Structure 1
Amino acid sequence: MPIETKVPAQPPRTLEAWVKLLESVRIPVPKQSYDRVLAAINDSRRSLRDIAELMQDSPALVLSVMREANHPANASQAEPAESLEIALNRLGLTRIEQLLKRLPSLPADEVPPVLGQFQLISQHASQQASGLFASRLARLWQEIHWGSLLFLAPLWPLALAYPKLLDTWELRVIHKGEKAAEVEQELFGVRIMALCQTMAEYWRLPQWVTQGYRMLLDEREQLAQVFNIARDQDVLSQQHRLDEEPGLRRWFNQPANTALLANGLALAAQVGWDNPHLLRWQLLTALYLQTSLDDVQQQVHQQAAASARRHAHQVLFHPAEALIWPWQQRRPHPGMLAPPPPSSEELNRWRTLCQDLLAQPSPFTNTVHLATQAREALLACGMQRIMLLTLDKATDYLRVQQTAGLPKEAAAMALQVPQSKLLQKLMSKAGQLRLTPENHGQFSALLPAPLRALFRSEHLLLRSLAVNDQVMMLAVADQGGNPLADISVQAFGKTAQCIERALSVFANRKG
């Protein structure tokens, strides 16, 4: 069954609009789970407990059932269902089958990767919660299990609807250390945690989920106090400090906090086992369990391995893979890796396009025709976002001639050269500037704001192109914000020389 959800190209900018959109997203269920559960529903020998166990392999199916059971139209009880078994009992087999038939299903290897990755994190968190806390709080094992599994559920439809937004958020906030508030306002128009809390309340997810978000959003001061105590490596000293603040102790020792701790551990482990975010959650967990950091780290590693045995997927990353890596090695975000070099077919096409640019007499009928060929040559050498601007000498404006990989509105952009010292330098004499993480702070602020907004990147090439020492064109290009591949940088330089030659031949054409 295909995914029928359609989302607008431009994401919402308010909590109300996000809720409306995410409520409409239909999250696909892996076909194998879908078929197993449907067969069990139609097998009179299977109990609701059997069906609940089969559903556990599909977080999307669990979420759909919990949402359906807790929907105001279906929930006669005031309290939401806190476990899948309660939700199944509320709905009954007939309603469950009807719900299942409304959901899309996909082969497991066709589930969109960003969605699959977030669901894998949720499964890892559930394993951490069960291994660390369920044996100590045995009577609450269901609340621990379902609260930890569904904690990140508000992000699942977001991962399906706008995977690039979440991917960009991870790159900029988690890996590059940009301020979360600024990045989230730019990308989503709202804070991520506030959106998750709002969706969890709207769906009436288990109370432990909403309580975790309340802790992150409204009780940050208490959380900071507890973390300060957790950093004290002396367990006895920790207990004395908590004894001195009984209110803080009661607040932190709530069983519901296990769902938040487990998800903090699972999320942070995605980056690397030695990162400071993970250490923070490990220290908090050690304080909660009243044990040592070494003991918690050992348990967390064991639970990660147990989760990988149950949940690992060949196309997704599981942190347990990194347990055999050198300790300080981290999984780089794909956006921090240089893209693969152009294929031999792409390089052959690039050579052909450059030969056309060098042809004499000029094969181009006008500068638009020439700029189109130049854009195609830059794409063939590995560039992914391109802007070619020509200089209007009468007004000292740079006007866009061609673009690739940029929003449509980029074509209407015009840059006033005198207002930018960087543009003045580039337009005074042919030259090239390569932005890198090392010089980005120095040069980024000098870029015109419209250009900086389009090319949010620490890896960028700007090259002014001249004919007879008169600059006529500016080429701006990158590889989607990723580090630049050396072979593509070299090809960019050679392409620029070919474009300059083409401009010269075109300018000197007869007739």
Structure 2
Amino acid sequence: MPSETKVPAQIPSTLEAWVKLLDGVRVPVPKDSHDRVLSAINDSRRSMRDIAELMQGSPALVLSVMREANHSANASQAEPAESLEVALNRLGLGRCAQLLGRLPALPRDDMPPVLNQFVQISQHASQQASGLFASRLARLWQEIHWGSLLFLSPLWPLALVYPALLDAWELRVIHKGEVAAEVEHELFGVRILELCRAVAEHWRLPEWVTQGYRLLLEERDLLAQVLTIARAQDPLEQQHRLDAEAGLRRWFNQPANTVLLANNLALAAQVGWDNPHLLRWQLLTALYLQTSLEDVQNQVHQQAAQSARRHARAGLFHPAEALLWPWQHRRQHPDMQAPSPPAADELERWRELCGDLLAQPSRFSNAVHLSTQAREALTACGFTRVMLLSVDRVNECLRVQQTAGLPREAMALSLPTVGNRLFERLLNQAAQLRLTPDNHRQFSALMPVPLRAMLRSEHLLIRSLAVNNQVLMVLLADQNARPLADLSVQAFGKTAQCIERALATFGNRSA
């Protein structure tokens, strides 16, 4: 991450705070593109069009130039620049060179991956827009091209500063189907679309960008009416229904809607080619172009392949890859796949740690020493988040004794056990519970709110450990909320047995 961008200690929770933060982020540009453009600016033989074409290789650079040109202090015209060439002419080559000097430039291999992924989605959207609409609306091809490329640009600085938030949003909303409004208010404090519109307006991006967000926020009812017409099988029926709603037809046929259609086609294709969200936007595109769904699907697939040839990069997912997959197959989020089993050296370390736990007489000088070894054994067999709680029977609570992979605040947790059915069951006798997506809702509701917030996971192992039928400790472990690797689950059970033996041996020595 470039040194110019500092991640604030606290995540913003209001629209104003988010806009201020994102406005101050300098999105890095690939160094090779940066150097080529700067060389062209300093070459008196290169035209403004030449320089604009070179800049297209770096959408982040395009965004910076458009923002600078459209800033209220710089823009001499009332209307924002709708194309890169207009923006370049407003700034002049001297100020463009100064702007380049302020931007962080990184080797392509060092560019942040989440930022790269969002930029690639924007490039795919631009390809879809050009292929589907630019030839039909040739007079407006620049507005279509730049609007579609910059539509998602308010998310680029967010992907740079808080990539984990966007990753969590994708996992929970797109792949797990949680309610978007609830997830967004929890993660960001605001709705994503409202944030994008506010940033786009602050940057004075092309009007077609802000118009797209306005449609999604304020005109969804009209969009739903058009979608109902688009679902009709008979093209003649579609035309009759549109003719009967002249105002609706004019609203839907606005050229600015091409930017929205192209970006939603590109975004939905990230999940898979056979999903209801993508089908809705394909139907709307077919109605807009007055052609069949099959024709639109063919064109969209062709444009995806064309985009992959131009924009695909190693380590990033491009929807064109999925055209080779079985039709019903969808891309899984990495956190929905079990991690790789522990490496051989980690398993060897795990065996050594378990050997120390089983040693007689006990090698541990105190309970903290023992619990530290227990935590290390659990992390060695593949668990990235671990919590060990000791039983405080005097105060009828569980106290955190060790953690791994959790915020520092986790150590301060004290969880009452009286009246909690989950804890009462675990403390009655040694038991193990495995949370899965099937039973998660049932059992997570029994977890205290602070613990549930600290260990949000649908794949969690909980086990109570007992010596002489008295429970002394409770273990919680997962693999960053991902499905659990079978080998790690087996090792968890064996590790728990070793910890129980260690507790028994330690207790006898103390006696």
C-alpha contact 1:124 1:304 (8 A) present in aligned 2: yes
- 2:85 is the counterpart of 1:111: no
**Local SS of the residue matching 1:126:** helix
Q: CA deviation at 1:441?
A: 2.3
In the TM superposition, what whole-angstrom CA distance separates every residue of 1:427-470 from its partner, at most 9, and x where no partner exists? 11101000111221222212222111112111000000111110
In the TM superposition, what whole-angstrom CA distance separates every residue of 1:66-109 from its partner, at most 9, and x where no partner exists? 00001111111111101000000000110000000110111112
C-alpha contact 1:7 1:21 (8 A) present in aligned 2: no
Per the alignment, residue 262 of structure 1 pairs with: 262
Per the alignment, residue 130 of structure 2 pairs with: 130
In 2, Cα distance between equivalents of 1:494 and 1:403: 19
Q: CA deviation at 1:510?
A: 4.5
In 1, Cα distance between equivalents of 2:204 and 2:3: 24
- 2:388 is the counterpart of 1:388: yes
Q: How does 1:227-266 map to 2 (within 5 A)?
A: 227-266=227-266
Per the alignment, residue 197 of structure 2 pairs with: 197
C-alpha contact 1:273 1:327 (8 A) present in aligned 2: yes
**Local SS of the residue matching 2:327:** coil
In 2, Cα distance between equivalents of 1:477 and 1:34: 46
In the TM superposition, what whole-angstrom CA distance separates every residue of 1:234-275 from its partner, at most 9, and x where no partner exists? 111111111111111111110000000000000000000001
Per the alignment, residue 463 of structure 1 pairs with: 463
Per the alignment, residue 171 of structure 1 pairs with: 171
Amino acid at match of 2:337: L
In the TM superposition, what whole-angstrom CA distance separates every residue of 1:37-86 from its partner, at most 9, and x where no partner exists? 11111111111100000111111000000000011111111111010000
RMSD (CA atoms): 1.0
Amino acid at match of 1:78: A
In 2, Cα distance between equivalents of 1:152 and 1:398: 46
Farther-moved stretch of structure 1 (442-451 vs 417-426): 442-451
**Local SS of the residue matching 1:509:** helix
Q: How does 1:334-345 map to 2 (within 5 A)?
A: 334-345=334-345
Amino acid at match of 2:162: Y
Per the alignment, residue 482 of structure 2 pairs with: 482
Deviating 4+ runs (over 4 angstroms): none
**Local SS of the residue matching 2:92:** helix
In 2, Cα distance between equivalents of 1:129 and 1:397: 60
Amino acid at match of 1:464: S
Seq. identity, %:
76
**Local SS of the residue matching 1:339:** coil
Amino acid at match of 1:398: L
In 1, Cα distance between equivalents of 2:475 and 2:9: 28
TM-score normalized by the length of structure 1: 0.99
C-alpha contact 1:120 1:311 (8 A) present in aligned 2: yes
Q: How does 1:292-303 map to 2 (within 5 A)?
A: 292-303=292-303
C-alpha contact 1:129 1:258 (8 A) present in aligned 2: yes
Q: Structure 2 unaligned segments of length 5 or more: list them.
A: none
In 2, Cα distance between equivalents of 1:502 and 1:8: 43
In 1, Cα distance between equivalents of 2:258 and 2:124: 14
Per the alignment, residue 155 of structure 1 pairs with: 155
Per the alignment, residue 407 of structure 1 pairs with: 407
Q: CA deviation at 1:3?
A: 3.8
Q: How does 1:296-445 map to 2 (within 5 A)?
A: 296-445=296-445
In 2, Cα distance between equivalents of 1:457 and 1:30: 37
Q: CA deviation at 1:31?
A: 1.1
Q: CA deviation at 1:319?
A: 0.3
In the TM superposition, what whole-angstrom CA distance separates every residue of 1:389-428 from its partner, at most 9, and x where no partner exists? 0000111100100111111111111111113101100111
Q: How does 1:15-164 map to 2 (within 5 A)?
A: 15-164=15-164
In 2, Cα distance between equivalents of 1:411 and 1:247: 61
**Local SS of the residue matching 1:418:** coil
Amino acid at match of 2:385: R
In the TM superposition, what whole-angstrom CA distance separates every residue of 1:479-498 from its partner, at most 9, and x where no partner exists? 00000000001111111111
- Number of aligned residue pairs: give it: 511
Q: Structure 1 unaligned segments of length 5 or more: list them.
A: none
Q: CA deviation at 1:33?
A: 0.7
Farther-moved stretch of structure 1 (97-106 vs 354-363): 354-363
In 2, Cα distance between equivalents of 1:201 and 1:396: 55
**Local SS of the residue matching 2:484:** coil
**Local SS of the residue matching 1:45:** coil
Q: Mark the CA change 1:31 to 1:126 in structure 2 (over 3 Å): closer, same or farther.
A: same
Amino acid at match of 1:88: L
In the TM superposition, what whole-angstrom CA distance separates every residue of 1:258-317 from its partner, at most 9, and x where no partner exists? 000000000000000001110011001001111100000000000000000100101101
C-alpha contact 1:3 1:28 (8 A) present in aligned 2: no
In 2, Cα distance between equivalents of 1:455 and 1:419: 21
C-alpha contact 1:437 1:458 (8 A) present in aligned 2: yes
In 2, Cα distance between equivalents of 1:289 and 1:318: 25
**Local SS of the residue matching 1:37:** helix
Amino acid at match of 2:501: R
TM-score normalized by the length of structure 2: 0.99
Q: CA deviation at 1:2?
A: 4.2
In 2, Cα distance between equivalents of 1:419 and 1:162: 39
**Local SS of the residue matching 1:7:** coil
